[in-house]
């Protein structure tokens, strides 16, 4: 049975709202098209006002605005952005600003439900169509859609089949934009090919007017990108790949003697937070979950060996914060859009860095600080080798086996190295990050702050001395002078007569190079352009040699001293107020029958704690508060803030 539902937030009175109750019991408020909702047409709203009024944000994140502009100008797009980067906004804003309806194809039922709930919370007319809905609901949504009652419809790819009859009614709609989420599923070279994605291209062709086609994915190699472009016949698409860094994630690796003890220690430290514990096998999931629940920890489990009913139930327990800890294999997580996951612990090392980064990346999607901890042991390498062997026996491809073993080697290299973890991850994805991030366990334990004031003075003095002689030299020559080289060039140019010649003869060449790089990076020196860049002084140089400004630099420690992981998860600005706001949010969420984070993300509550809004205008300034939500929730939240301020003033 095909089915559908229209999702929505609390019911509203008024002539332009139609109320009905969906299968899950959420009250549904649908805004019909006559007259058109003010936020779409009146006074020509633009992307900025929509960003603020509907989503409550002041600024676009990296890449979002470019994608929105491309789509609004009628161009197709191929967007590769890491999980949590904010892909949804990239198509939701154009969908709201364009005429007609936008169709979002997504393979992920839970994600659809989430997104539609969130949109309806902001009074955007949205619905989804997938197998979780009854036939009645499906017909109801079709009727609304035909009457132009939606701006956004999420649909599962299975529903695009002609035999299903679902397609023909969609053909009758005024579709301006078709969005394909998880677009790598269309490629055989992607890690998750789905046959249902083969239905998308014929569907697009069947529409009376070719819509703008936007494709989104979190991971895609060049080969997969080419596949997506061809399979969906994108026309001169705007292509964008944004950076992979997730600055709010703290990365840690531990090699504990006893993983269970270490896990419990972390869970005790992370009490009251929601997180995922990934295990390599079903067996591990069972064991870990059993041990934790026996210890009174509210944990649930997920793996492919459970019945579909149990999987759904456990997933909901986790999403609705009834059980804040999820123990799972890699079968769990695709499409889980729970924004308040504040840690991901890997009980075992995964088989490759792609999987690791994707799973770890499920933490901190609301932008708040979150932790990703990998508990490594050598047995994990062995288990992975065994699993690779086994899967190869099934597929029979020796080439694939070599490939997977190579990926495993790189994962192991990551888990056992001593350099910056973020640096390693980003380098793996082809970026060139700095060698020290300051927010990973290796940076915290394998690096130390070194006073380089004297070294910096010597190097900058050398640049000044040369300048007095009217000379500019490159990094290599400066190092040679400082180390007292007698190369032909130095003798010929009489550079050995400089007072700075040989003043760093006891410092190694890489060490001097490292300090020079640091000085350039921090603006105490600069490099001229050209094929042979020359070192030149800057306006900050004088402070170092004349005012003896002290300088510290982070350097890898000679001796590795592993310390325990320090929590970087910032405590909410006002813990007591945060607790109160959370309680209020839980109440409102229960009343609206949506997960708590749909009302406001933790990051939004935290901002309220910091800014203590007492007026509606101040409330609107909080990131994550849009016009509709301000209207709905301003009053109770401000009341709690005012009470809190009053209590603290009198005590
Ligand atoms: P993705 O689909 O790329 O994994 P989402 O679209 O789910 O990511 O967005 C992740 C989170 O970031 C959401 O909580 C979303 O509200 C938030 N977000 C998106 N864009 C912005 C922005 N411009 N400013 C602040 N937060 C944003
Ligand atoms: Zn680091």
Instruction: Check which CATH number belongs to the domain holding 505 and give it.
Output: 1.10.10.10
| Residue 415 Cβ < 6 Å to ligand 1 | no
**Average pLDDT for 163-189:** 83
Residue 131, in any domain of the structure: no
**What single DSSP character describes residue 427?**
H
Instruction: Spell out the residues 6+ positions from residue 573 whose beta carbon is closer than 8 angstroms to its own.
Output: 606, 609, 610
| Residue 85 Cβ < 6 Å to ligand 1 | yes
Query: Measured between alpha carbons, how far is 164 from 158 in angstroms, rounded to an integer?
Result: 9
Query: Measured between alpha carbons, how far is 599 from 9 in angstroms, rounded to an integer?
Result: 10
With beta carbons less than 8 A apart as the criterion, state whether 285 and 328 touch. yes
Residues 262 and 408 in one domain: yes
Nearest to 368 by CA among 344, 336, 337, 341: 341
Q: What is the pLDDT of residue 246?
A: 87
Q: How many domains does the chain have?
A: 4
Residues 592 and 576 in one domain: yes
Q: Which ligand places an atom closest to the C-alpha of 568?
A: 2
User: Tens digits of per-residue pLDDT, 285-320?
Assistant: 999 999 999 999 999 999 999 999 999 999 999 999
Residue bearing tokens 């007259």: 35
Categorize the per-residue pLDDT at 557 as very low, low, confident or very high, splitting at 50, 70 and 90. low
**Average pLDDT for 416-432:** 84
Least confident of 357-366, 565-574, 611-620: 565-574
Query: Measured between alpha carbons, how far is 528 from 467 in angstroms, rounded to an integer?
Result: 14
Q: Which ligand places an atom closest to the C-alpha of 87?
A: 1
What interhelical angle do 509-521 and 475-482 show, nearest 10? Answer: 130
Please state the three-class secondary structure of 16-42 as a single string: CEEEEECCCCCEEEEECCCCCCHHHHC
Cis check: omega of the bond before 35, within 30 degrees of 0 = yes
**Average pLDDT for 194-218:** 91
Residue 14, in any domain of the structure: no
Please state the three-class secondary structure of 361-394 as a single string: CCCCCCCCCEEEEEECCHHHHHHHHHHHHHHHHH
With beta carbons less than 8 A apart as the criterion, state whether 345 and 317 touch. no
Token pair of 33, please? 């098209």
pLDDT for residue 21 is more than 70 = no
Query: Measured between alpha carbons, how far is 337 from 601 in angstroms, rounded to an integer?
Result: 12
CB atoms under 10 Å from CB of 517, counted, come to: 15
Q: What is the pLDDT of residue 212?
A: 95
Categorize the per-residue pLDDT at 518 as very low, low, confident or very high, splitting at 50, 70 and 90. confident
Query: Measured between alpha carbons, how far is 282 from 347 in angstroms, rounded to an integer?
Result: 12
Mark which of 556, 581, 606 sits at the end of a domain: 556
Q: What is the pLDDT of residue 211?
A: 95
Token pair of 11, please? 């019911």
Pocket mutation for ligand 1, best pick of 48, 88, 247 (most atoms within 8 Å of C-beta): 88
Token pair of 355, please? 């999987």
Query: Measured between alpha carbons, how far is 472 from 470 in angstroms, rounded to an integer?
Result: 7
With beta carbons less than 8 A apart as the criterion, state whether 57 and 51 touch. yes
- In our burial notation (b when 16+ CB lie closer than 10 A, e otherwise), range 535-566 reads bebbeebeebbeeeeebebbbbeeeeeeeebe
pLDDT for residue 561 is more than 70 = no
Distance 276 CA to ligand 2 centre (A): 22
Q: What is the pLDDT of residue 26?
A: 29
Categorize the per-residue pLDDT at 602 as very low, low, confident or very high, splitting at 50, 70 and 90. confident
With beta carbons less than 8 A apart as the criterion, state whether 490 and 480 touch. yes
Query: Measured between alpha carbons, how far is 586 from 138 in angstroms, rounded to an integer?
Result: 30
Categorize the per-residue pLDDT at 163 as very low, low, confident or very high, splitting at 50, 70 and 90. low
Query: Measured between alpha carbons, how far is 103 from 176 in angstroms, rounded to an integer?
Result: 8
| Residue 339 Cβ < 6 Å to ligand 1 | yes
Distance 347 CA to ligand 2 centre (A): 21
Residues 398 and 287 in one domain: yes
Distance 624 CA to ligand 1 centre (A): 10
Residue 529, in any domain of the structure: yes
With beta carbons less than 8 A apart as the criterion, state whether 187 and 193 touch. yes
pLDDT for residue 252 is more than 50 = yes
Residue 79, in any domain of the structure: yes
Report the CATH number at residue 419: 3.40.50.300
Residues 52 and 192 in one domain: yes
β-strand pairing of 126-129 with 77-80: unpaired
Least confident of 84-88, 172-176, 327-331: 84-88
Q: What is the pLDDT of residue 426?
A: 87
Mark which of 192, 224, 241 sits at the end of a domain: 241
Nearest to 122 by CA among 24, 40, 25: 40
CB atoms under 10 Å from CB of 474, counted, come to: 14
**Average pLDDT for 171-191:** 87
Pocket mutation for ligand 1, best pick of 48, 50, 65, 86 (most atoms within 8 Å of C-beta): 86
pLDDT for residue 509 is more than 80 = yes
Residues 297 and 364 in one domain: yes
Token pair of 323, please? 């059980």
Distance 417 CA to ligand 2 centre (A): 12
Helical residues (DSSP H) of 131-256, grouped into ranges:
135-146, 166-171, 200-206, 222-231
Residues 173 and 41 in one domain: yes
Q: Which residues pair with 370 in a beta bridge?
A: 249
Q: Domain limits at 100?
A: 34-107+156-241
Query: Measured between alpha carbons, how far is 231 from 237 in angstroms, rounded to an integer?
Result: 13
CB atoms under 10 Å from CB of 274, counted, come to: 22
Q: Which residues pair with 449 in a beta bridge?
A: 554
Mean pLDDT of the chain, nearest integer: 84
Residue 203, in any domain of the structure: yes
Helical residues (DSSP H) of 275-397, grouped into ranges:
282-294, 308-319, 353-360, 378-395
Residues 179 and 268 in one domain: no
Residue 4, in any domain of the structure: no
What interhelical angle do 64-72 and 87-97 show, nearest 10? Answer: 30
Residues 176 and 297 in one domain: no
User: Tens digits of per-residue pLDDT, 358-384?
Assistant: 899 899 988 889 999 999 999 999 999
Mark which of 241, 266, 293 sits at the end of a domain: 241
* CA neighbours closer than 13 Å in the CB half-sphere of residue 188: 1
Distance 370 CA to ligand 1 centre (A): 15
Least confident of 179-183, 498-502, 625-629: 625-629
| Residue 578 Cβ < 6 Å to ligand 1 | no
Pick 427 or 73 by higher pLDDT.
Answer: 73
Instruction: Spell out the residues 6+ positions from residue 168 whose beta carbon is closer than 8 angstroms to its own.
Output: 162
Report the CATH number at residue 607: 1.10.150.80
Token pair of 630, please? 């301000």
Pick 169 or 258 by higher pLDDT.
Answer: 258
**Average pLDDT for 419-440:** 84
Residues 416 and 397 in one domain: yes
Q: Which ligand places an atom closest to the C-alpha of 253?
A: 2
Helix, strand counts (H, E) of the chain: 27, 20
Residue 141, in any domain of the structure: no
Residues 164 and 99 in one domain: yes
- Considering the chain, what percentage of its residues have pLDDT values greater than 90? 51
CA angle at 241 for the pair 238 and 243, rounded to the nearest 5°: 150
pLDDT for residue 191 is more than 70 = no
Q: What is the pLDDT of residue 43?
A: 46
Q: What is the pLDDT of residue 192?
A: 72
**What radius of gyration do the chain's Cα atoms show?**
28
Distance 425 CA to ligand 2 centre (A): 10
Q: What is the pLDDT of residue 435?
A: 77
Q: What is the pLDDT of residue 164?
A: 54
| Position in ligand 1 atom list of the atom nearest CA 337 | 7
Residues 83 and 222 in one domain: yes
| Residue 57 Cβ < 6 Å to ligand 1 | yes
Q: What is the pLDDT of residue 440?
A: 93
Token pair of 342, please? 């504040």
| Residue 363 Cβ < 6 Å to ligand 1 | no
| Residue 366 Cβ < 6 Å to ligand 1 | yes
| Residue 81 Cβ < 6 Å to ligand 1 | yes
Q: Is the dihedral of CA 594, 333, 170, 178 positive or negative?
A: positive
Residue 124, in any domain of the structure: no
Nearest to 279 by CA among 351, 336, 224, 228: 351
Separation in Å, CA 123 to CA 55, 120, 152, 411, 558:
11, 5, 12, 45, 58
Residue bearing tokens 């539609």: 116
Categorize the per-residue pLDDT at 70 as very low, low, confident or very high, splitting at 50, 70 and 90. very high
pLDDT for residue 190 is more than 60 = yes
Atom 18 in ligand 1: which residue has the minimum CA distance? 86
β-strand pairing of 535-537 with 525-527: antiparallel
Q: What is the dihedral of CA 392, 397, 402, 405, to 10 degrees?
A: -20
Pick 480 or 645 by higher pLDDT.
Answer: 480
pLDDT for residue 38 is more than 90 = no
Categorize the per-residue pLDDT at 66 as very low, low, confident or very high, splitting at 50, 70 and 90. very high
Q: What is the pLDDT of residue 44?
A: 59
Least confident of 128-142, 152-166, 524-538: 152-166
Categorize the per-residue pLDDT at 650 as very low, low, confident or very high, splitting at 50, 70 and 90. low
Residues 374 and 430 in one domain: yes
């Amino acid at each position: 049975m095909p089915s559908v539902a229209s999702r929505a937030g609390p019911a509203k009175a008024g002539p332009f709202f139609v109320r009905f109750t969906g299968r899950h019991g959420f009250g549904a408020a649908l805004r019909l098209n006559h007259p058109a909702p003010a936020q779409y047409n009146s006074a020509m709203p633009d992307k900025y006002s929509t960003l603020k009024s509907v989503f409550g944000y002041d600024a676009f994140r990296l890449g979002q605005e470019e994608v929105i502009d491309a789509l609004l100008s009628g161009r197709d797009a191929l967007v590769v952005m890491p999980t949590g980067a904010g892909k949804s906004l990239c198509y939701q804003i154009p969908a709201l600003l364009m005429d007609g309806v936008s169709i979002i194809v997504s393979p992920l039922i839970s994600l659809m439900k989430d997104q539609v709930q969130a949109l309806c919370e902001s009074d955007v007319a949205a619905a989804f169509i997938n197998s979780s809905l009854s036939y009645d609901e499906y017909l109801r949504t079709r009727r609304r859609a035909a009457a132009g009652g939606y701006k956004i419809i999420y649909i599962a790819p299975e529903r695009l089949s002609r035999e299903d009859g679902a397609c023909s009614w969609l053909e009758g709609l005024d579709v301006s934009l078709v969005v394909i989420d998880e677009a790598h599923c269309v490629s055989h070279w992607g890690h998750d090919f789905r046959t249902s994605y083969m239905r998308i291209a014929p569907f697009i062709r069947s529409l009376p007017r070719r819509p703008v086609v936007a494709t989104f994915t979190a991971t895609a190699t060049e080969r997969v990108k080419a596949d997506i472009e061809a399979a969906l016949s994108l026309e001169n698409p705007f292509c964008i790949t944004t950076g992979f860094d997730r600055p709010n994630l703290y990365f840690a690796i531990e090699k504990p003697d006893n993983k269970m003890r270490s896990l419990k220690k972390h869970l005790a430290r992370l009490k009251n937070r929601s997180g995922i514990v990934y295990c390599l096998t079903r067996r591990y999931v069972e064991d870990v979950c059993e041990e934790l629940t026996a210890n009174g920890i509210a944990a649930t489990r997920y793996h492919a060996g459970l019945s579909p009913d149990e999987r759904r139930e456990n997933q909901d327990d986790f999403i609705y914060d009834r059980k804040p800890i999820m123990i799972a294999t890699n079968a769990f997580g695709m499409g889980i859009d729970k924004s308040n996951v504040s840690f991901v612990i890997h009980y075992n090392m995964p088989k490759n860095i792609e999987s690791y980064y994707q799973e770890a990346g499920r933490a901190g999607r609301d932008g708040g600080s979150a932790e990703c901890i990998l508990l490594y042991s050598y047995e994990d390498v062995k288990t992975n080798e065994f699993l690779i062997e086994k899967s190869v026996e099934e597929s029979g491809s020796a080439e694939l086996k070599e490939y997977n073993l190579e990926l495993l080697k790189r994962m192991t290299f990551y888990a056992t190295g001593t350099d910056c973890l973020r640096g390693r991850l980003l380098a793996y994805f082809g970026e060139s990050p700095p060698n020290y991030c300051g927010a990973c366990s290796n940076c915290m334990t394998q690096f130390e702050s070194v006073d380089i004031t004297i070294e910096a003075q010597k190097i900058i003095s050398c640049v000044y001395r040369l300048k007095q002689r009217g000379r500019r030299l490159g990094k290599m020559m400066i190092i040679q002078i400082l180390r007292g080289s007698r190369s032909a060039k130095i003798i010929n140019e009489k550079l050995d007569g400089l007072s700075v010649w040989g003043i760093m003869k006891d410092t190694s060449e890489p060490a001097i190079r490292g300090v020079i790089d640091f000085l350039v990076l921090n603006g105490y020196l600069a490099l001229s352009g050209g094929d042979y860049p020359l070192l030149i002084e800057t306006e900050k140089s004088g402070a170092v040699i004349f005012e003896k400004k002290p300088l510290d630099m982070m350097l890898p420690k000679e001796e590795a001293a592993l310390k325990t992981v320090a929590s970087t998860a910032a405590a909410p600005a006002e813990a007591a107020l945060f607790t109160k706001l959370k309680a209020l949010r839980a109440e409102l969420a229960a009343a609206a029958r949506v997960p708590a984070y749909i009302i406001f993300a933790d990051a939004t509550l935290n901002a309220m704690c910091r800014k203590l809004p007492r007026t509606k205008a101040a409330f609107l300034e909080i990131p994550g508060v849009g016009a509709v939500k301000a209207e709905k929730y301003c009053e109770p939240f401000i009341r709690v803030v005012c009470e809190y301020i009053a209590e603290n003033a009198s005590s």
